[in-house]
Amino acid sequence: MKIIMLGAPGAGKGTQAERISKKYGIPHISTGDIFRANIKAGTELGIKAKAYIDKGLLVPDDVTVDLVMDRISQEDCKNGYILDGFPRTIPQAESLTRALKARGTSIDHAVDVDVPDESIIARMSGRRACLTCGATYHTVYAKPAKEGICDKCGASLVLREDDKPETVKQRLLVYHEQTKPLIDYYRKENVLCTVDGTQDMEKVFLDITKTLGCLLYTSPS
Ligand code: ADP
Ligand code: ADP
Ligand code: ZN
């Protein structure tokens, strides 16, 4: 199964993608996580991406598309994957559609996690990220066992530089201009489902598994 997560920055794409990944046993591919890992490692890609990310802008399509095409060609993606944060522009979506078509396949579901802008800024100020393993927490809604420390790897948690309110506002502008049109794109492809992302995480996950028609579904643990 090949799934795309759509939604504004902070809508809960990563949180839900992680759960879907576990449930279906398919890899969770987050372009944001890949960029952040490259920034941390000081690679050429990381240096290039950082200049855009810090300003709340998108990394150019050619860089991003190549990265994702390479990733989905890997062995662990042969039974499907969840793309979280890609595509983010119409040209990215068209490149993906073309590449999949050439392989005789297509996206099965595009899940739009719908959260209004008003809720986003408040939610983002509480997000805490582990830049070592990519795990995400929230100061109110998803607390780690020990404040400021990642449950999974023990590294310190940080407020991402681009999660500060000024940059979030810019990212929301970019979202409305460049990413939101993808909702119509995937509606036309007949694969869109929309879930109310303002509900608590468990309920959002329940709604997603229902719309995916998940026969494997069991109660969230
Ligand atoms: P969020 O989780 O808030 O939606 P991400 O971690 O997905 O944010 O992305 C962080 C930043 O990385 C984006 O603001 C953007 O600069 C860059 N980025 C991630 N995915 C893409 C993409 N598909 N195209 C261009 N830039 C991207
Ligand atoms: P995205 O990947 O879309 O940017 P995240 O999954 O990182 O979003 O979620 C953004 C922040 O909001 C995180 O701190 C996360 O713990 C929190 N969060 C995610 N889903 C919910 C929810 N349904 N209710 C409250 N907080 C949430
Ligand atoms: Zn960690």
- Among 13, 35, 83, the mutation site with the greatest number of ligand 1 atoms within 8 A of its Cβ is 35
Which pLDDT does position 139 carry in this prediction?
A: 95
More confident residue, 2 or 220: 2
221 has pLDDT over 70: no
Which pLDDT does position 26 carry in this prediction?
A: 96
**Is 185's C-beta closer than 6 angstroms to any atom of ligand 1?**
no
**Is 14's C-beta closer than 6 angstroms to any atom of ligand 1?**
yes
Average confidence (pLDDT) over 17-24: 95
Which pLDDT does position 218 carry in this prediction?
A: 46
Q: Using CA atoms, how far apart are residues 25 and 67, in angstroms rounded to an integer?
A: 22
Which pLDDT does position 214 carry in this prediction?
A: 53
Ligand 3 centre distance from Cα of residue 136 (Å)? 8
Which pLDDT does position 220 carry in this prediction?
A: 46
Token output for 58: 């998108």
> Structure pTM?
0.94
- Rg for the chain, CA atoms, rounded: 17
Q: Which residues are catalytic?
A: 13, 88, 127, 160, 171
pLDDT tens by residue, 127-177: 999 999 999 999 999 999 999 999 999 999 999 999 999 999 999 999 999
> CB atoms < 10 A from the CB of 197, how many?
27
Question: Nearest ligand to the C-alpha of residue 37?
Answer: 1
Ligand 1 centre distance from Cα of residue 164 (Å)? 15
Average confidence (pLDDT) over 19-32: 96
216 has pLDDT over 90: no
User: Which atom of ligand 2 has the smallest separation from the CA of 18?
Assistant: 6
Average pLDDT, the chain: 94
Instruction: Give the residue, by CA position, lying nearest to ligand 1 atom 6.
Output: 32
User: Which atom of ligand 2 has the smallest separation from the CA of 85?
Assistant: 2
Which pLDDT does position 219 carry in this prediction?
A: 43
Region of poorest pLDDT, from 57-61, 73-77, 141-145, 216-220:
216-220
**Is 8's C-beta closer than 6 angstroms to any atom of ligand 1?**
no
